[in-house]
Structure 1
Amino acid sequence: MNKFMEVLENVLLPLADKLNNNRYLTALRDGFMVALPVIIFGSIFVVIANFPFLDKLLSQSAYEAYQSALGPASAATLSIMGLFVIVGIGYKLLQHYGGEAIYGGVVAIASFLILTPQVVESVTGVIPTASLGAQGMFLGILTAFVSVELYRFFVNRDWTIKMPAGVPDAVSRSFSSLIPITLTLTVFLIVRIAFSLTPFVTVQDFIYTVVQEPLTALGSGLAATIVAVVLIQLFWFFGLHGQIIVNSVFDPIWFTLNNQNLEAFQAGEPLPHIITKQFIDSFLVGMGGSGMTLAVVILILIIGRSRQQKELGKLGGPPGIFNVNEPIIFGLPIIMNPLVFIPWILAPVVVTIVTYFAMATGLVPPPAGIIVPWTTPIILNGFLATGNAWQGGALQLVNLLIVMAIWWPFLKILDKNYYENEKSREK
């Protein structure tokens, strides 16, 4: 066991260090965090607009008026979430380089809009919201990275306008960014024109067909999801924030799948995907935090005999209800503790498989694309994530029992060791 742990440590720690220090993955992660408040705002109003049985309680005209009144909340946030992510990525990446961060966001969004087709069903001068949401997400991310690098390249060559002393700072900064932004946007305009001469016509169609569709298909599969879940748990085991590390790679895929489900849910169509961002956040993380440690807290309160375990259960219980599990991760401890390695890795994998097949067989509706705040307690979390379906909450309860069953013998051994150590110290 010790040899196995040593091999894992030698492989995972250098990998995690590289991922944590990668400027693009960091900007990607932080860019999504910039967009998160507006995404959650839109999700809340999707839930309110689709309360269960509301269409039965109201007349058809009243129900349509009600949904129409609340519709702009999601249309102005979730439907165009790509725009917020692009601004966030551009801002954070240029901030990493020590540049004037706001211009990173500006050049990223302007470059993306230049590449975006401005025609809908032969009507020109309008932008299809699909290009600003899930379908345009990958292009937006790539555009943000490339545009900031180009902008930085021109700035580093000192191709800027120098204003005389005495000019207000705001004016001076604006003029100093003029040439780098102009050159960067010109590059993207040339790219747009070049693609208009190809069979793809637009960069969006090229990216979606060649890159996004295959990656989305891969990320929506059970096998790739299990790999991601195992990596999350392994990184955490070695004291690294596995959720942040792995999400920085998988979030673009999971958010795209999530948005496609949301569009289908709002249109009353069958949901196309099981694996989405909310699949991970509600049915794994939303059960006490990474590793679903709310089950561990409950077990401690049931079978714990040692004082250490009992006190840990009292401390970890209240935050665990709201999916904050640092007291358990560092207090049990889980980090570098061989006694809990097996349940820590195994339980999330089993729950992922059970959840996937429960949804694939139709027992439970897939996540509806609604972003549920991560602190939402279990059962309510699953209910909201599946579009107000009681089966979502019931599945979370079943998953909780599964995790408890897997952890039971290991936690029993750990508690026994603590109990015997406490008794020996008292003698």
Structure 2
Amino acid sequence: MNKFMEFLENILLPIADKLNNNRYLSALRDGFMVALPLIIFGSIFVVIANFPFLDKWISEDAFAAYQEALGPASAATLSIMGLFVIVGIGYKLTERYELEAIYGGVVALAAFLILTPQVLEGVSGVIPTASLGAQGMFLGIITAFASAELYRFFVKKDWTIKMPPGVPGAVAKSFSALIPITLTLSVFLIIRILFSLTSFETVQNFIYTIIQEPLTNLGSGLIATLIAVLLIQVFWFFGLHGQIIVNSVFDPIWYTLNDENLKAFQAGLELPNVVTKQFIDTFLVGMGGSGMTLAVVILIFLIGKSRQTKELGKLGGPAGIFNVNEPIIFGLPIIMNPLILIPWIVAPVVITIITYFSMSMGLVPKPAGIIVPWTTPPLLSGFLATGNAWQGAALQLFNLLVVMVIWWPFLKILDKNYYENEKKGEASN
């Protein structure tokens, strides 16, 4: 095992160093870290507002009032998290060029808003919240990179307004940024106009179409499910909300299969489908969130030595029980972290195969079509999703152990790296 870990360190650590020194990947990672406190705040209140079966314990009106009262916490953070990430990326990339970073952040935000359609259900001047959140993340990241580079280009060309001596510094900086910002935003306005003349109409529609079309041809079944799971993990690794992107295409298929199982279950007939919406939500996502990161939290408590991972475990543990794993995704981090790419990709694929064949062979009942709240903790969710069958909970427990085995050597390396860096920091002080 030690030789295997040394091999992984020799292969992965040099790659990690190169990626960490890449200005775009660094800005991407740091941009997400800017949004992390807001994401954690929103995640906490998502769990509180969607506590499993609370709607069964209190009246419908009381539950609606309860959710309405807590709703702004996530609506003002998680729902529009894309805005914070965009500002963070623009800020960090411009800062890396040793320019006035705040202008890099705001020009990235303005450029993204220029490209974003401001029409909702026929009403103009209204920006759909979905466009500002995870769904708009892909366009936002591209826009942040491009706007920061354009702003830098125009500043380096010295196309700026020079103010005379004696003018307050804040005023001088504002006028100095005026022409570069104007030219940068004009480029994005032209892009928006050009797309409005095409059949796509908007940049968002163009991106959605080129992602959607290859996915819609996949259909259903094990192979299609494995491809969908792989895409979810890959998108998340690059900072995109993989579930929203992939589910937007596969959900109609998965929900249809789910309904077929529910009707058969209610009629006492054999369940026709293994892969359904609850197959994904309960036995993959419902194990601590995307990538089944509840296993990672447990491992942190078992083998973690560094303060960083220990504190992250304390922070991500309570949320992870209810399948909210943004603290782990953005805090470990998982995004753009080559040290954990292998377990992040491999573990969900292995669990998909195990779950599929366990159900197709009759060892575990197929999902009964019952929609279990996504915040329901593991084991309980597996029990309910399979029609109150203990085998569903047992399968979740087995899957959790498998994920822990896959993650163990990689998390050990990451934790060791953090621990050694902390020791060096203490020694230098």
Same fold (TM over 0.5): yes
Q: Is the 8 A contact 2:117 2:127 kept in 1?
A: yes
Q: What does residue 172 of structure 1 align with?
A: 172
Q: Is the 8 A contact 2:24 2:145 kept in 1?
A: yes
Question: In 1, Cα distance between the equivalents of 2:194 and 2:309?
Answer: 59
Q: Is the 8 A contact 2:93 2:145 kept in 1?
A: yes
Q: What does residue 115 of structure 2 align with?
A: 115
Question: In 2, Cα distance between the equivalents of 1:248 and 1:28?
Answer: 13
Residue correspondence of structure 1 range 237-386 to structure 2 within 5 A:
249-254=237-242, 256=244, 278-280=289-291, 282-289=293-300, 294=302, 322=314, 349=346, 353-354=350-351, 358=355, 362=367
1:7 offset after TM fit, Å?
Answer: 8.3
Question: In 1, Cα distance between the equivalents of 2:181 and 2:39?
Answer: 29
Question: In 2, Cα distance between the equivalents of 1:30 and 1:322?
Answer: 22
Question: In 2, Cα distance between the equivalents of 1:316 and 1:152?
Answer: 34
More displaced stretch, 3-12 vs 246-255: 3-12
Q: Is the 8 A contact 2:49 2:67 kept in 1?
A: yes
Q: Is the 8 A contact 1:134 1:255 kept in 2?
A: no
Q: 1:407 to 1:135 in 2, by over 3 A?
A: closer
The AA in structure 2 aligned to 1:250 is F
The reply to whether residue 210 of structure 1 matches residue 178 of structure 2 is no
Q: 1:95 to 1:186 in 2, by over 3 A?
A: same
The AA in structure 1 aligned to 2:239 is D
1:320 offset after TM fit, Å?
Answer: 9.7
1:8 offset after TM fit, Å?
Answer: 6.8
Residue correspondence of structure 1 range 32-47 to structure 2 within 5 A:
32-47=32-47
Q: 1:196 to 1:14 in 2, by over 3 A?
A: same
Q: Is the 8 A contact 1:31 1:85 kept in 2?
A: yes
Q: Is the 8 A contact 1:32 1:88 kept in 2?
A: yes
Q: Is the 8 A contact 2:30 2:88 kept in 1?
A: yes
Q: Is the 8 A contact 1:28 1:248 kept in 2?
A: no
Q: 1:72 to 1:170 in 2, by over 3 A?
A: same
**What 5-or-longer segments of structure 1 have no aligned partner?**
230-245, 298-311, 325-344, 371-378, 409-427
For normalisation by structure 2, the TM-score amounts to: 0.62
1:285 offset after TM fit, Å?
Answer: 2.4
Q: 1:272 to 1:183 in 2, by over 3 A?
A: farther
Q: What does residue 328 of structure 2 align with?
A: none
Q: What does residue 194 of structure 1 align with?
A: 194
Q: 1:149 to 1:10 in 2, by over 3 A?
A: same
Question: In 1, Cα distance between the equivalents of 2:167 and 2:399?
Answer: 63
The AA in structure 2 aligned to 1:125 is G
1:355 offset after TM fit, Å?
Answer: 6.5
1:34 offset after TM fit, Å?
Answer: 1.0
Q: Is the 8 A contact 2:236 2:242 kept in 1?
A: no
Deviations 1:55-77 (CA, angstroms, capped at 9, x unpaired): 12221111111111111111111
1:15 offset after TM fit, Å?
Answer: 3.3
Q: Is the 8 A contact 2:278 2:367 kept in 1?
A: no
Question: In 2, Cα distance between the equivalents of 1:319 and 1:365?
Answer: 36
Question: In 2, Cα distance between the equivalents of 1:191 and 1:205?
Answer: 14
Aligned residues: 337
Deviations 1:72-105 (CA, angstroms, capped at 9, x unpaired): 1111111111111111111111111111111111
Q: 1:29 to 1:135 in 2, by over 3 A?
A: same
1:280 offset after TM fit, Å?
Answer: 2.5
Q: Is the 8 A contact 1:119 1:127 kept in 2?
A: yes
Q: Is the 8 A contact 2:86 2:140 kept in 1?
A: yes
1:178 offset after TM fit, Å?
Answer: 0.6
Question: In 2, Cα distance between the equivalents of 1:366 and 1:30?
Answer: 37
Question: In 2, Cα distance between the equivalents of 1:73 and 1:57?
Answer: 23
Q: 1:350 to 1:85 in 2, by over 3 A?
A: closer
- Report the 3-state secondary structure (helix = DSSP H, G, I; strand = E; otherwise coil) of the residue aligned with 1:135: helix
C-alpha RMSD over aligned residues: 5.0
**What 5-or-longer segments of structure 2 have no aligned partner?**
219-223, 253-258, 260-276, 317-341, 360-365, 409-429
Residue correspondence of structure 1 range 223-242 to structure 2 within 5 A:
none
- Report the 3-state secondary structure (helix = DSSP H, G, I; strand = E; otherwise coil) of the residue aligned with 1:280: coil
Q: What does residue 136 of structure 2 align with?
A: 136
1:347 offset after TM fit, Å?
Answer: 12
1:136 offset after TM fit, Å?
Answer: 1.2
Question: In 2, Cα distance between the equivalents of 1:93 and 1:215?
Answer: 32
Q: Is the 8 A contact 1:107 1:147 kept in 2?
A: yes
Q: Is the 8 A contact 1:288 1:323 kept in 2?
A: no
Q: Is the 8 A contact 1:216 1:257 kept in 2?
A: no
Q: 1:3 to 1:20 in 2, by over 3 A?
A: same
More displaced stretch, 159-168 vs 16-25: 16-25
Q: What does residue 242 of structure 1 align with?
A: none
For normalisation by structure 1, the TM-score amounts to: 0.63
Q: Is the 8 A contact 1:83 1:132 kept in 2?
A: yes
Q: 1:320 to 1:91 in 2, by over 3 A?
A: closer
Q: 1:73 to 1:347 in 2, by over 3 A?
A: closer
Q: Is the 8 A contact 1:278 1:385 kept in 2?
A: no
Residue correspondence of structure 1 range 49-88 to structure 2 within 5 A:
49-88=49-88
Q: What does residue 89 of structure 2 align with?
A: 89
The AA in structure 1 aligned to 2:175 is F
Question: In 2, Cα distance between the equivalents of 1:384 and 1:149?
Answer: 50
- Report the 3-state secondary structure (helix = DSSP H, G, I; strand = E; otherwise coil) of the residue aligned with 1:210: helix
Q: Is the 8 A contact 2:295 2:401 kept in 1?
A: no
Q: What does residue 103 of structure 2 align with?
A: 103
Residue correspondence of structure 1 range 406-421 to structure 2 within 5 A:
none
1:47 offset after TM fit, Å?
Answer: 1.0
